[in-house]
Structure 1
Amino acid sequence: MGILDGRTAIITGGAQGIGFAMATAFVAEGARVVLGDLDEAANEQAVQALGGASVAAAARCDVTVSEEVDGLMQAALDVFGSVDVMVNNAGITRDATMRTMTEDHFDQVINVHLKGCWNGTRKAAAIMREQKSGSIVNISSLSGKIGMVGQTNYSAAKAGIVGMSKAAAKELAHHGVRVNAIQPGLIRSAMTEAVPQKAWDQKMSEIPMGRAGEPAEVASAALFLASDLSSYMTGTVLEVTGGRFM
């Protein structure tokens, strides 16, 4: 018996990185997962890696487009019959100093992270409130807590996700639906490992635990929030940072 037996989880940006790590953890605990991603080839590969059609399905989804998020919800209902867990994880970066950042790059990041998270939260909530149960997990970032140089767009979006999650938690609590957020810190990935050594060393010096996190460690926090282990938690923000900027 897994702690997510019989439940269906949707994960946006689920074909790779932290999203795929979460999908892997969820399937290991008995969930069926639906991956929403723009990269259809990566999505299909992820489904096969997770165990195939009996436990996973893929749906192309641009989270900034309301109708496509509707389609993602419907795919979960059509294939597995329910939406019990929603993880709003899809994201992009368009880093630049505020002086050089384009308005388009600001808008892109706000739209994918903040509007995309809002779309996923409200669409999943519409289903969950009818069944009087459900868990929504929104992926913020340490950047949304402290602000990072070169990330006025990303920091704003990730801070907004925290405020939105708390407001949604208050709206949905009496319907039996919980909404929580996670703020990862420096997590080891292809993107972070491409950071120049000097910048990497600076980041590492800020982490009391002395190491970067692994995608699976973020996935464990998401699994906790998705499951009944966190049944009396809503509107909370878990930091998965190794103690950085505590």
Structure 2
Amino acid sequence: MAQRLQGRTALITGSTSNIGRAIAVAFAAEGAHVVVSGRDEVRGAAVVDQIRQKGGRADFVRADLDGTAAASHRLAAQAAEVVNGRVDILVNNAGIYPPTTTPTTDEDTFDRVYGVNVKAPFFLTRALVPAMIGAGGGVIINLGSWIARLAVPVSSLYSSTKGAMETMTRAWAAEFGPRGVRVNAISPGVIVSPDRDTATDHPGEVMMRGTPAGRSGHPDAIAAAAVYLASDEAAFVHGTVLDVDGGRTGVAVVAV
């Protein structure tokens, strides 16, 4: 069976753990040369080693996407250098989730969350899209969240940043789609890292009660969706937010 991403290059931000790591591993398994990116060099090296041991191609580029345009532009340049050309697929996955409510959110926290979750991917996309257009095509995948549309009484700040990413997905699809760059998003439900302490219950499990899935999801579910959106199988898919949430947002929840 042919690998769906053979010969392509991909940059996945925040790919040293959890969803980002799963996407990086899945892309490499499908033939892509993957740029693993994040702040932790040790964890980054571990992901690269995991990919290479299975015969895949991967390199690590350390990046602290703090929201400055300079940081995003620097990562774009380093990623292009590592893959000896251009990045074909960009996955804007990196984000932070401070456990704050509106009354407890100060201005510094507000600016930091918007900087990492919105401003950084905006300028990273801005830096990489011209080369994609020049080469005749590319793919951008953004990570949204189910709580951008189904409100919960906490994390209004985080929710609003993910709403912004889903809105930019549609705007970028209109802006870049006619020039060959497909833009879509994935909206994960409650995803629990396999690295978590299984001795204690994850609070997200409560949020999945009564859904069709009835449980939290694994990062591999998001990775599978990302592979689809990055591949030619999704050539006719533009500006879509793909819910991978166990039915959390689309199906009425029955309390159990």
> What TM-score does the superposition give when structure 1 sets the normalisation length?
0.93
How far the C-alpha of 1:108 sits from its partner, in A, is 1.5
Q: String of CA shifts for 1:178-218, please: whole Å, max 9, x gaps.
A: 11001000112269768974944531214221121110000
Q: Return closer, same or farther for 1:152/1:192 CA change in 2, 3 Å cut-off.
A: farther
Instruction: Give the secondary structure class of the aligned counterpart of 1:105.
Output: helix
Kept in 1, the 8 Å contact 2:205–2:215? The answer is no
Aligned pair 1:77/2:80, yes or no? yes
Matched AA of 1:183: S
Equivalent AA in structure 2 for residue 5 of structure 1:
Q
Instruction: Pick one of 51, 60, 63 that aligns with 1:61.
Output: 63
Q: Higher helix proportion, which one? A: 1
Q: Distance in 2 between matches of 1:120 and 1:127?
A: 12
- In structure 2, list runs of 5 or more residues that go unmatched: 251-256
CA 1:19–1:6: 2 relative to 1, 3 Å: same
In structure 1, the residue corresponding to 2:149 is in which secondary structure? helix
How many residues are paired up?
A: 246
Identical-residue share of aligned pairs (%): 38
Closer, same or farther: CA 209–58 of 1 in aligned 2, 3 Å? same
Matches for 1:130-145 after TM superposition, within 5 Å = 130-145=134-149
Task: Give, in angstroms, the shift of residue 44 of structure 1.
Answer: 1.7
What's the secondary structure of 1:242's corresponding residue? coil
Name the structure 2 match of 1:26: 27
Aligned to 1:10: 11
Instruction: Give the aligned partner of residue 116 of structure 1.
Output: 120
| SS of corresponding position for 1:146 | coil
2: CA distance between counterparts of 1:198 and 1:2? Answer: 35
TM-superposition CA deviations, 1:135-169 (whole Å, max 9, x none): 00000111111232221110000000011111111
Over aligned residue pairs, what C-alpha RMSD do you find?
2.2
Q: Show the counterpart of 1:176.
A: 180
How far is 1:123 from its partner?
1.7
State the secondary structure of the residue aligned to 2:208: helix
* Greater Cα offset, 52-61 or 135-144: 52-61
Residues 62, 163 of structure 1: alpha-carbon distance in 2 compared, 3 angstrom cutoff? same
2:166 corresponds to: 162
- Name the TM-score, length of structure 2 as normaliser: 0.89
Given that residues 144 and 165 in structure 2 are in contact (C-alpha distance below 8 angstroms), is that contact kept between their aligned partners in structure 1?
yes
Q: Distance in 2 between matches of 1:115 and 1:155?
A: 15
Q: 1:231 to 1:200 in 2, by over 3 A?
A: closer
CA distance in 1, matches of 2:29, 2:119: 30
